[in-house]
Amino acid sequence: AFGGIDPDFSTSSGSVTGPHDGPDIIPLNVANATNLSSFNIVVNYDASRLTAAQADVALGDLIPESAQANWSITVNDSTPGVLKLNFSADSDHAISGAGEFGNITFHPTPTATTATTPVDLSGPDKVNANTFTYNDGTILIDADGPALPSESFNYTPPVPGQMSVDFGFGENVGPSISNGDLHLTNLNTNTVVNGTDISVVYGPGNTAFFSFPNFNHGILPDGYYQATINSGDVTDHLNNPMTANASFQFFFLDGDADHDSFINIQDFNILASNFGQSGATYQQGDFNFDGVVNLLDLNVIATKYGEHLLPPSAGPIAASASSVGVMGTVPVGASPSANAAATPANSSTSLFSTSPISLGGDKKDGSTLSQDVLGS
């Protein structure tokens, strides 16, 4: 070997890969090289997490491209977890200075588990009175996929806004999220919401907001829903899939301001107390998400008053509107005859009156809005 003044060999630390990611190239560096033209390096690594072979060893950019044809690499990879390397050239093409003289492409094994795994360099201590030093490196194996996200059904978005099904992740999975990742089924009607009717925005806090712009005002039909994202559909930046399917149930009954699955006097009172208000939310009686509580919202309650949305296990598929009736107390999801006594709490007070009902708001002209809901 034609040595330099105390050459110092090293590799890097902090590189990251994983069993679902591509290969990871780590450099082999030298410092303080002077006319260095032949040297041996032994690389030790964890064969349960990484693999490398002769074809994975290459020359680095410290050796000019015009000179690389004059260099050769001999690799002994017969022992798993060990690469014995010899770099050599004639003295006319020796290297000096500092930089990357070579690199190794490591491949994570399919069964690799999360760990910081060492890449150790070794070799002869002295060559021609020159002392060789070796500095080890590490590779981080990340085999852990995104944890199960938080889940919520947001039927009271800020104004203006639309209802959404939200999944909050603990790390950035945005590049892997698409509208088709949400599998949404109305359990009362056994209807699957088509992926083309779903929109997704990946926003602050690593949250995916799935909304439904193709439905009228972005409002889902009444029912209990199962929302699922399959584990393989969401991956982190190393393509590690989510640890399990993310799934939860929620319900929606339009006109149910207090979200108790009944449409009754409590919901009417909420609407009445906010009637005429702008900038209102669903919980304040804005049932069509247009930001205003008005007669359009009152009509929602008037046509559905007395309905009770039952889980699908509690009865057959939801009753039709004709079987419920404006004044009916028949639960949605049950037959009228079987549930004639299933009157919601506090629903004995009739919504409809032959005397004026003050809806608590002001008209645009400043006068108080007061009217017969049905009239006499």
Q: Using one digit for the tens of pLDDT, what is the confidence trace for 172-208?
A: 999 999 999 999 999 999 999 999 999 999 988 999 9
Identify residue 26 by its one-letter amino acid code: I
> Has residue 137 got a pLDDT over 80?
yes
| Residue 128 binned pLDDT confidence (cut-offs 50, 70, 90) | confident
Phi first, then psi: give them for residue 247, nearest 5 degrees.
-150, 140
Please give the DSSP secondary-structure letter assigned to residue 145: -
pLDDT at 250 over 90: yes
CA-to-CA dists, residue 82 to 98, 167, 190, 258, angstroms: 25, 44, 58, 66
The confidence band for 6, taking pLDDT boundaries of 50, 70 and 90, is: confident
Residue 5 has a pLDDT of 62
Does pLDDT of 337 surpass 50? no
By CB atoms closer than 10 A (0-12, 13-18, 19+), residue 168 is: middle
Contacts of 175 (CB under 8 A, 6+ apart): 237
pTM: 0.73
**pLDDT value of position 352:** 35
Alpha helices by DSSP H, the chain: 265-273, 295-304, 321-324
Token reading at 364: 């645009």
In angstroms, the CA 215 to CA 291 distance is 17
Cα 102 to Cα 59: distance, rounded to the nearest angstrom: 4
Residue that wins the pLDDT comparison between 369 and 77: 77
Q: How many helices (H) and strands (E) does the chain have?
A: 3, 26
- Return the minimum-mean-pLDDT range out of 27-31, 99-103, 114-118, 339-343: 339-343
